[in-house]
Structures are given as C-alpha cells and as structure tokens.
Amino acid sequence: MRWRQSLCLLAVVLQITGCRPSPTPPADEHLVTDLVGRTVAVKKSPGRFACISGTATERVLSLGRGQDIVVAGPTNRGWSAIVDRTPHDIILADSGHAPNIEVLLGKRIGLIFHRNDPNALAKLNEAGLKAVVSQGFGGKRNRIVDSPEAFTTIVDDEVRLYGALLGGAAAKTAAEWLSFTHARTALIQKRLAALPAGQRPKVYGIVGPSSTKTYGHDENLLWYVEMAGGRMVSMELPAHGGITVSMEQVYLWNPEIVFVRQPYAREKRSPYSVASVYRDPVWKAVSAIRSKRVFPIPNGVDYWDRDSEGVLLLEYLAKKIHPALFADIDLKADVKAYYAKFYRTVLGDRDVKAMLGD
C-alpha cells in the first residue's frame, strides 16, 4: 500500500507546483523537435507525405522515399522527372499554397513538411494532421545566419530532421549525406585557409529576369560564394531576398566574376542568360565581361543553392572562382556519383554537360 500512497503524494505535489509529467507518445509514435522548436508526436512510420515547404520534395527524394510523396512541392521538372518516377496525386504550382485540409485528410496524409506559418500549423493540428516545420531558414527568430558556420549548421539540421522523420534506411542515407558533404566542404576550406583577403575576387549574382536583380543579404548563394573563396558584393546591402540595384552600383562594385541563376525548366519567362550579359552594352565596362568570367548557376532536381545538391554548387563555384587551386576536382564525376548515391540515378556524359551548362 505504501507505493500507492507515494504515488498519490507525488500527484498532489505536481498539482500544487503546477508541474506536469511529459506526455508519453503511443508506442508507434516518437517525439520530434522541428526546426522552430515545436515538439510534435510523429508516427515512426508516417506513410504518406505532403511536401509543402521549400525544397521538401527534393529532400524526401534524396533520402529514398519519393514513392511515399502524395503532395509534391515544385521542383525543376527537367531533372526531377528523371530521378522521380512516382506519379504524385497533387503537384503544387507554388510551395506557398497548400491544398485545403479536406483534401489532405482525404489523401490520408501521415506527415506534412511545412514552412513556418503558425496560423496554418494551428489549423492543421486542430484537424488532427501532423505537420512539422522542416524549413530551417526563416525559422526561429533568434537564429541569425551571419557566418558560413551558422549557414551550414542550419542546412545540416534540416537533413538530420528529415532523417529522423523518415527513419530506417532514410536515416542512414541522411548520415551518409552529412559525411559526404562535410568531407567535400572540409577539402575546399582547407585549401582556402591561407588565401589572403585580397585574393578573394568580387562576385555578383544575377537572379533575373533583369541583370540588376541580385541576391539580398540572407540568400544562400552569398554563403556558398564565401565558402568557395569569393566575396559577394551584395553582402554589404541590408536588404533581404531578391533585390534590385542600379547599374551605377554595379559599376562601383565592378565585379570580377558574375554568376547568372538559371530558371526552372518549366518556367516560361525568358531568363537573363550568360549570353544576355555579354550582349548587353551597359555591361561592357565591367571587369567580369572583359575577362570572360560570366557563368551560369546550374540547377538539378531543384535550385542548387537551396537544396541538398548545394555541395555540388560549392565545388562548382570553387572551380570557377579559383580554377588553378581546384583544377584536380572532377566535378562531372562528382555529379554522377552524387546522383547515383542519393538519387539512385545514372547520368550520362550528355546529362552532366547539359546540367553544368558547359
């Protein structure tokens, strides 16, 4: 009887102090902390996925669970169609617009990968749908991206979260991705460690469709350029996201290298291409044009600067910014190996050439 009295006493103490024991999830669930610190009880085998946030579709594909995607966010269909052979019930035109709750319930969605939208998350929770914030950027308000280390930590956290949520073989693949990415990044950083600041060329990035639309302060490309041994000129601007600057500002910066973002294959608008830069008379006085150092930013299953293929982008940028220093890196071979490993897809020489744009 004493053990019963002890339990009763403990319950009274907890009630008086306002403490409550942590809820224990059912045996088929586990507690997961998402990228904004929410604790969510998620099925250990979620089953069917709705990929609503950012690059969720690409993340799930790269970890080998593409067959379980019911609602797919936008991807670069030119390449994602090659690696993703599963017909999805719904393909979103824009990751900012989710299907209505009735549709999600009707599709028996086990887990929703969502952006940080508290109102939408609350409604999903009320409907009994499980949703996690799987997009690290734009997540916690106090999470400041002010260094390459802070940037890579967020990317790593995203992959770890997906591995924990998908479980099984996907968790192992997530760990292998982290190991692969860290090794390639460390190789590049080691070679750049002794590089004087004066030998880091000035880089300008064109978002398009105009040549004066560039990358704001929080864009991923800024950190990849920094990690590849360049100095992104727009880093000094306080504005976030894609921003428009004057051509006079470009002249003042006088970038030594220009990278031009390529649109998704499905986009119908005409991109401001590498050829457009060379043809535009207002660019003739810029250093990068005179030295013929204007390059495309490749895309894969998604934009390389925002999906798990960022490690390939890092290699690509390093080779373009410091060609002599990284001449021995065989990017074409690495692209093939990456797609074989993480997308289970064999790419030919023509495929890789088309992807890299050279």
pLDDT at res. 116: 87
pLDDT at res. 197: 83
pLDDT at res. 198: 87
Report CA 108 to chain centroid distance, whole Å: 27
pLDDT at res. 81: 86
Per-position pLDDT tens, the chain of length 358: 444 444 444 444 334 434 444 457 677 788 999 988 899 998 888 889 999 987 899 999 999 999 999 999 888 888 888 899 888 998 887 766 778 899 999 999 999 999 888 899 999 999 999 999 998 765 454 556 778 888 899 899 999 999 999 988 999 999 999 999 999 999 999 999 988 888 999 999 998 888 999 998 778 899 999 999 999 999 888 777 788 999 999 999 999 999 998 877 655 555 678 999 999 999 999 999 999 999 999 989 988 988 899 999 999 999 999 999 999 999 999 999 999 999 999 999 999 999 998 6
pLDDT at res. 307: 87
What is the set of domains in the chain, with CATH numbers?
27-176 (3.40.50.1980), 196-356 (3.40.50.1980)
Question: Which has the closest alpha carbon to 312: 279, 284, 347, 271?
Answer: 347
pLDDT at res. 262: 83
pTM, 2 dp: 0.88
Question: Which has the closest alpha carbon to 326: 230, 207, 223, 249?
Answer: 230
pLDDT at res. 264: 72
pLDDT at res. 237: 83
